[in-house]
Amino acid sequence: MKLDGTLPPTAGVALDTEVAQGRGREAALERRAIAEAVKQLDLPQLQMPNRVLSISYDKVLGLNIVQIVDGDSGEVVQQLPGRDVIERAHFYKELERG
């Protein structure tokens, strides 16, 4: 989701995927609420030109992942929860499965 509240071109694909997975409207509303909360934080990284707010859902962990992405390079500037936390959570999830 861009800072002006519009969705980037790829967001429609993500939302359509969630509809197919049964998350649909609830997921879209949750994403918008997260985007509004992040905007209220007034992060300096979001004030720079060509920054895009990306919100994805990790269905294995059941978490939303918020990323600030450079719109030109596609580089992730900041992510919450951090990549190390996500990787560790996936590792522990695999251990649970045996």
pLDDT tens-place string over residues 12-36: 334 334 444 556 788 788 888 888 8
* pLDDT tens, residue by residue, 34-77: 888 777 777 777 778 888 888 888 999 998 998 989 999 999 99
- Provide the whole-model pTM: 0.62
**Residue corresponding to tokens 């049964």:** 22
Domain boundaries, the chain: 11-97
Model pLDDT, residue 37: 79
Q: Are 1 and 67 in contact (CB under 8 A)?
A: no
Nearest-10 crossing angle of helices 24-41, 11-20? 140
Q: Are 37 and 89 in contact (CB under 8 A)?
A: no
- Among 68, 19, 15, residue whose Cα is nearest residue 41: 68
